[in-house]
Amino acid sequence: VVGIPVVNLQNQTFSTDGLVPTRPKCTDPNNAKYKSSVCATRKLARVSCESNDNPGTVVDTNFSCGDGESCVDITLNDVLCVDENNALVWENNHYSGFACSAPVLLVPPHESFQLIAGMTTYSTTGDPIQVVVLLAKYGDNESREFVGHQNNFTFAINQENFSKNLSFCFAAGNEEEIQAVASLGYVLL
């Protein structure tokens, strides 16, 4: 992942003219080869790092997101600490049905980039929490992109959906208050 699009909240658009987000890093010089990361909490990523001296030996370490950042699963094996001003943040207000983010207009990325999306759900204490379903909507239509009984959801955005409004949605399945954070990312092809 090379960057995240900036959300322009004035006109609700995502643009690829964004800053590079904070990618969790391996902080121990003896275990410096990054392998993968997951969101441990809304403010903390758990990073798997490989030993320099013993290849194949993986050590997990914690990486704190900065002030004003939230951890978002952006691919199956990678998380980013995303500035909340450049992300979508919403909650279900104790509603068990679908709670959706505000819609944003997708701006097509440069042809050398793939646009990806990620969403992570959290309890009010900041711990990841599983919900019944997480999905994407383009305009008023639910997409084929959804997962069930997870706390995160990542997917690539196909070219036919560029220049459409995208909303991220989740259904809690109960009346527990749940918060969600979603962001887009772009990777070099």
How far are the Cα atoms of 101, 105, 149 from residue 15, in angstroms, in the given order? Answer: 17, 9, 30
Instruction: Please name the amino acid found at residue 111.
Output: E
Q: What are phi and psi of 31, to 5 degrees?
A: -130, 70
Model confidence, pTM? 0.88
Per-residue model confidence as pLDDT tens digits over 26-42: 989 999 999 999 999 99
How far are the Cα atoms of 47, 82, 122 from residue 130, in angstroms, in the given order? Answer: 21, 21, 8
Look at residue 187 in the predicted model and tell me its pLDDT.
77
Q: Where are the domains of the chain?
A: 6-20+85-188, 29-81
Residue whose C-alpha is closest to residue 83's, from 156, 20, 128: 20
How far apart CA 72 and CA 182 sit, in angstroms, is: 7
Q: CATH number of the domain at 6-20+85-188, out of 1.20.120, 2.20.25, 2.60.120, 2.30.29?
A: 2.60.120
E runs forming strands in the chain: 6-8, 13-15, 33-41, 44-50, 58-64, 69-75, 78-83, 88-91, 98-100, 104-106, 113-123, 131-138, 141-150, 152-156, 165-171, 178-188
For residue 33, how many other CB atoms are within 10 A of its CB? 12
Residue whose C-alpha is closest to residue 13's, from 134, 105, 128: 105
Most confident of 132-141, 160-169, 171-180: 171-180
> What is the arithmetic mean of pLDDT over 146-151?
97
Edge to edge, what strands does the sheet with 88-91 contain?
Answer: 88-91, 178-188, 113-123, 152-156
